[in-house]
Amino acid sequence: MLPLLMLFSSIRNAFSSDELGLEILNISLPTTLALAADPIASLIDTAFIGHIGPVELAAVGVSIAIFNQISKITIIPLVSVTTSLVAEEDAVDEQNQQSEREMLMKVSNEDVKLDVHDHAEKAGNSSSANVGRVAKLDHDKSYIPSASSGIVIGGLLGVLQALFLIFTAKPMLSYMGVDSNSPMFKPAQQYLTLRSFGAPAVIISMAIQGVFRGIKDTKTPLYATVMGDVTNIILDPLLMFVLRLGVNGAAISHIISQYLIAIMLLWSLMKQVVLLPPSIQDFRFGKILKNGFLLLIKVASATFCVTLSTSLAARKGSTTMAAFQICLQIWMATSLLADGLAVAAQAIIASAFARDDYKKVIASASRVLQLGLILGLVLSVLLLSLLPFASRLFTNDINVLQLISIGIPYVAATQPINALAFVFDGVNYGASDFTYSAYSMIMVALVSILSLYMLSSSLGFTGIWIALLIYMTLRIFAGFWRIGTGSGPWSFLKENSVELQ
């Protein structure tokens, strides 16, 4: 397991401000803030809705779970594959531009070496022209075919998801344990149906974010996301309480914010990347769909586990569901902070693989995993300290608060495990190890589903959280196993272990 030991060597240098450290920071920090913005907006939504009543809170919780989990099935494969392909193509594009610049400068130097007495004017003109061409290269838009391909696929998937959710809202809610006789059914159906109209904007904006991540520009998505989420927060109380639209107002405000984000991102991307390839043959639909299908298998397996846990909580009543929804929102919101590191790992490692720079691959993987572990430990301490007091921001119901207090230790204790699991995903996506990611998740899901059924029936609310702990632990084991054994794209770790140390 020598390759595995290499990942955590020199952990004391995890915060070094060297070139790699700054590159990780410049990518991960804006990504983390952008990823945190949306869950924070959802938490604010939850806080507003919680003051309407526990039934509405539970109803919206079920609807959000359905929408988010269905969205993840399409978003994560699309964004992950787009990020890796764009990073690879951008690295190749940079190499090509560098080669062309070197060639032009070489021609310029040769021109200058001409007989200065007989050809002085000719040499000067030629040199100036070539230098002008070199300068122009630096201001051209990047040509990245996977960018436009990902956006087109995202638009189609968004429309399909909207239609699917609109026409299957009732059976989906029934599957989640909310039948037509439940007081949760009407507000849940209204919220889910309305929220579905924002699906195209959500998926398109995430596809564009995948492009920005691939070109290592994570600041632009941050600005757009913050603007959209601030709009959502402002509209929430206005539509919900002033106009008295209730849970429908929360859904409408979210739709408006998502379309605003999509428009802002598309406008910014058009300034940096060529979005219209010369011909249909230049699109990368086949490659995106092939790798996307593999990740679809993974995400569907992971999504089923989380959705099943929500369904099992909903079947135990509105009080249990309300408490579980609050705990789950906090669990996911904090855990997703590690996705900033995962995105940095994916973009940097994909570029390094494209250049065959294996030293940077292992250095990047090692650094982000170390930072992920540290982040998880910090989050554990913060949540364990603050959640007992902060839970009252979401509800005043005594029974709900009592159940939340039971879930807090599990939410806090799992943070290091969650952080490492998410970072491992980014590392393996950067290596384009999509096949292993898909099939290993199937095995993890099978064990986790069995655990959820067994533990929820015997231990109730507590059993669901123990099963989720098992689920995330198995995901870490799968990540450690692939790199630790030096198999697949990581075979270079065994072949060059001495050189890479």
DSSP states along 107-154: HHHHHHTS-HHHHHHHHHHHHHHHHHHHHHHTTSPB--HHHHHHHHHH
* CA quadruple 24, 30, 420, 306: dihedral sign: negative
pLDDT tens digits for range 187-243 = 999 999 999 999 999 999 999 999 999 999 999 999 999 999 899 989 999 999 899
**Largest separation between any pair of C-alpha atoms in the chain:** 96
Q: According to DSSP H, which parts of 51-115 are helical?
A: 54-112
The pTM of the full predicted model, rounded to 2 decimals, is 0.77
Q: How far apart are CA 256 and CA 244, in angstroms?
A: 18
Mean pLDDT of the chain: 83
The rounded distance, in Å, linking the Cα atoms of 231 and 211 is: 24
- Tell me the per-residue pLDDT of 356-369, one tens digit each, with 9 for 90 and over: 888 899 889 989 99
User: What's the full length of the chain, in residues?
Assistant: 501
Contact 423, 279 (CB under 8 A): no
**For the chain, which residues make up each domain, given as ranges?**
2-95+140-500, 96-137
**Residue 402 confidence (pLDDT):** 87
Query: What count of other Cβ atoms lies within 10 Å of the Cβ of residue 276?
Result: 7
Residue 236 near residue 48 (C-beta atoms within 8 A) = yes
Name the phi and psi angles at 142, rounded to 5: -75, 145
Per-residue confidence (pLDDT) for residue 135, from 0 to 100: 40
Contact 488, 434 (CB under 8 A): no
| CB-CB neighbours of 213 under 10 Å | 27
Local structure of 490: helix, strand or coil: helix
The whole-angstrom separation of Cα 170 and Cα 354 is 47
Beta bridge partners of 273: 142
* Distance (Å, whole) CA 46 – CA 22: 36
Residue 101 pLDDT greater than 70, yes or no: no
The dihedrals phi and psi of 51, each to the nearest 5 degrees, come to -85, -5
For residues 479-494, b (16+ Cβ closer than 10 Å) or e, as one string? bbebbbebeebbebbe
Rounded average pLDDT over 238-252: 90
pLDDT of residue 377: 93
Q: Report whether pLDDT(434) > 50.
A: yes
Q: What b-and-e string marks burial along 305-325, b requiring 16 or more CB atoms within 10 Å of the CB? A: bbbbbbbbbbebebbbbbbbb
Q: Which two tokens stand for residue 309?
A: 């846990």
| Beta-bridge partners for 142 | 273
Q: Pick from 84, 142, 143, 81: which is nearest to 277 by CA?
A: 143
Phi/psi at 115 (5° precision)? -55, 110
For the cut 70, the answer to whether the pLDDT of residue 497 exceeds it is no
Give the confidence band of 166 by pLDDT, cuts at 50, 70, 90.
very high
Give which of 279, 283, 161, 151 is closest to 212, Cα–Cα. 151
Which whole number is the average pLDDT over 279-301?
83
Residue range 2-17: mean pLDDT, rounded: 66
Q: Three-state SS for 187?
A: helix
Alpha-carbon span 21 to 473, nearest angstrom: 27
How far apart CA 253 and CA 343 sit, in angstroms, is 28
For residue 272, pLDDT over 90 is answered with no
Q: Provide the 10 A C-beta neighbour count for residue 96.
A: 12
Q: Kindly provide the residue ranges of all beta strands, DSSP E only, lying in 141-216, ordered along the sequence.
A: none
